[in-house]
Each structure stands twice: as structure tokens, then as C-alpha cells.
């Protein structure tokens, strides 16, 4: 949800219309990002269960390093700050590892799976 910090009386109608159009696009992109992250986490949950069943560690530092390098290159090619992309991936990977640790604990202790 976007909010406006501009009054309606002092801004040209064409500017307000353009702001609204751009913000609508941003809102659509935000929705797509959320749905893509949900799909990504569905996949990583399956990875977590596979790792737990085969007693593999929740984290894979070598893969994480490769993914960071890959994402930094993608970011550079897309004209996005690679440091920002790396921070974003590190946040996601941290959440994935936390989920994998929980899944491993539940598998080891035989407890029912919890929520995300």
C-alpha cells in the first residue's frame, strides 16, 4: 500500500497522475516479489526436509558463496547495486537456514512440523 505525502492542491494533476501510475506499478512489482518469495520458500522447505531425512547440515557455505557471486553478477548486469543484492540474499539465506534447522530438529525429535 502506498501513501502520498503530497497535498492535492499544490501538485499539478498530470504529476499526480504520473505518480499514481508509477506507484501502481511498484505495488504490482511488490506483489510479484512476495509471490516469488513464497514459491522460493516452498522449494527451500522441500530442500530442508530432504536434508533432514539424510542428515545433511542445514547450511551449505560453498553453495551460499557461489550464489552470492552469481547474484552479484546478475545485479551488476541489471544495474542494481551488488552490495544491496548480496545483503538481500544473505537475509533470505539466513531465513532458509533457520527453517532448515527447525525442520532438522523436528525430524530428529519426531515432532510435528510447525508453521513458517
Could you give the CA distance from residue 54 to residue 56 in angstroms, rounded to a whole number?
6
First CA to last CA distance, the chain: 24
Backbone dihedral angles phi then psi of residue 42, each to the nearest 5 degrees:
-60, -45
Give the tens place of pLDDT for each residue, 24-43: 999 999 999 999 999 999 99
Q: Of the candidates 34, 94, 11, which has an alpha carbon nearest to the alpha carbon of residue 59?
A: 94
Q: Of the candidates 59, 55, 86, which has an alpha carbon nearest to the alpha carbon of residue 70?
A: 86
Q: Which CATH architecture has domain 13-109?
A: Up-down Bundle (1.20)
Q: Is the pTM of this model over 0.75?
A: yes
- Calculate the dihedral angle through the C-alpha atoms of 2, 36, 48, 84, rounding to the nearest 10 degrees: -60
Q: Where are the domains of the chain?
A: 13-109
Which range has the worst mean pLDDT, 4-8, 11-15, 35-39? 4-8
Give the tens place of pLDDT for each residue, 64-114: 999 999 999 999 999 999 999 999 999 999 999 999 999 999 999 987 555
Amino acid at each position: 500500500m502506498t501513501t502520498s505525502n503530497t497535498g492535492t492542491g499544490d501538485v499539478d494533476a498530470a504529476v499526480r497522475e504520473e505518480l499514481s501510475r508509477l506507484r501502481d506499478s511498484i505495488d504490482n512489482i511488490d506483489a510479484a516479489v512476495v509471490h516469488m518469495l513464497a514459491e522460493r520458500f516452498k522449494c527451500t522447505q522441500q530442500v530442508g526436509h530432504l536434508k533432514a531425512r539424510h542428515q545433511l547440515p542445514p547450511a551449505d557455505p560453498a553453495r551460499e558463496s557461489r550464489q552470492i557471486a552469481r547474484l552479484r553478477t546478475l545485479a551488476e548486469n541489471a544495474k542494481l547495486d551488488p552490495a544491496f543484492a548480496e545483503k538481500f540474499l544473505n537475509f533470505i539465506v539466513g531465513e532458509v537456514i533457520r527453517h532448515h534447522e527447525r525442520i532438522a530438529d523436528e525430524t530428529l525429535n519426531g515432532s510435528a512440523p510447525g508453521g513458517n
